[in-house]
Structure formats: structure tokens, C-alpha cells
Amino acid sequence: MSYSQSNTNVRMDRRFDWVGPPDSVSKIRKIMLRRVDNESELEKQYRIAREELNQWNSDFWANHNTLFDTQKIHYVEKRKKELGPLEHVSANDLSDFYRDFLNERHSALMSYNKEWYTRNLALIWPALKVNIVRFMRLLKR
């Protein structure tokens, strides 16, 4: 791996699969799959599909987590106003918030879940084909 310690853009070896740090909002790690020079159309589509699935996951969770955090802040502020200066927000109030948030996001989460399952499982078969192609290539050498 060739990299420098300077504060500029650096190069990472494209011959390997890379995994990045978790995104601060969506908590999903970015991935970069390896490419060979003479990669076939099949391999390219698989690589792009997998990277895209990961990115789509990251976008969904970034949106969802921001919603959670902002709604929690609003809820806590609202409760604080209702309770007055002497009392503090209790765990039961937060329980109400957790429940309401989940119910609100139910349909969005269900459609996300369905799409995630179908896309993830649909990638297994192309992954198998790509691995066979790579294995054949290795044998030919």
C-alpha cells in the first residue's frame, strides 16, 4: 500500500477491498471493492450494485437518525416546559417518545426492510457467479 503522511489526497491500492470508518450520522461503513484492469461486465455490475446498496443503506440511516435526534430534542424541550423548573424528565417520558417514534416510522421502516432483504439476497447469486469467474481466471494463470 502506498500512501504518504501529508495532508493531501492520497492513493489507495485499487487491487484490494477497502472498508472505511463508520459514518458519524448513519453509522454505516463505506466500502470500496477491488477492480482488475480487465474486469468483465458481470464483475463491474456486481461491484457497482454492492457499493450502491451500501450507499443507499447509509443514506436511509442518515436520514432516519437525524429524524430521531431532532425529534428527541424537541420532545425533551417540550416536556421540560410542561414539567416546569423543579422536575426532571423521567425515563417513562422517554419511553413514550420511543414508542411514538417507532409507530410513526413504522411504514418507512417496513418498506426499507423489505427492500434491504430483497436487494441483499438478490446479490448472492451474482456474487457466486463473480467468484466462479475469478476462480476460473486464477486457474488459467
Partner 1 sequence: MLSRQILQCPRLGYCASTSQAVFHTNVQNNSLPRVKPLEEEMPAKSFRKTVRSPSDILDLTSSSKKKNIDIIVTDTHLSQWYKMEPKSLASDYLQLCKSKLSMFVASTAACGVLMAPVPVALAPLAACTAGTFLLSSAANACNQLLEAPYDAQMRRTQGRVLVVHRFSPLHAFTFAGVTGMTGISLLAYFGNPLTAALGALNWFIYAGVYTPMKRAHIGCTWAGAVVGAIPPLMGYSAATGYLDPASFCLAAILFSWQFPHFNGLSWNLRGDYSRAGYRVMCVTNERLCRITSIRHSLALLGLCSIAAPLTGLTTMTFAIDSLPVNAYLVYLSYKFYKAPDAKNSRKLFFYSLLHLPLCMLLMGISNYGRNDDEKISISDKMQNAVDKITKYIK
Note the residues at the interface with partner 1 (CB under 8 A): 2-22, 24-25, 27-33, 37, 57, 61, 64-66, 68-69, 72-73, 76, 87-92, 94-96, 98-99, 101-103, 105-106, 109-110, 113, 116-117, 120, 123-124, 127-128, 131
| Closer residue to partner 1 in complex, CB, 7/139 | 7
Shortest Cβ 105–partner 1 spacing (Å): 7
**Minimum Å distance from CB 48 to partner 1?**
13
Question: Between residues 22 and 137, which has the closer beta carbon with respect to partner 1?
Answer: 22
Alpha-carbon distance 4 to 20, whole Å? Answer: 18
Minimum distance from residue 137 beta carbon to partner 1 (Å): 17
* Backbone dihedral region for residue 28 (phi beyond 0: left; psi -120 to 50: alpha; all else: beta): beta
First to last CA, the chain: 24
Nearer to partner 1, 18 or 40 (CB): 18
Considering the complex, state which of residue 27 and residue 44 has its C-beta at the smaller distance from partner 1. Answer: 27
Q: Which helix (H) or strand (E) holds 6?
A: none
Distance, CA of 7 to CA of 52 (rounded, Å): 28
Tell the smallest beta-carbon distance from residue 140 to partner 1 (Å).
21
The 10 Å CB-count burial string (b at 16+, else e) for 25-52 is ebebeebebeeeeebeeebeebbeebee
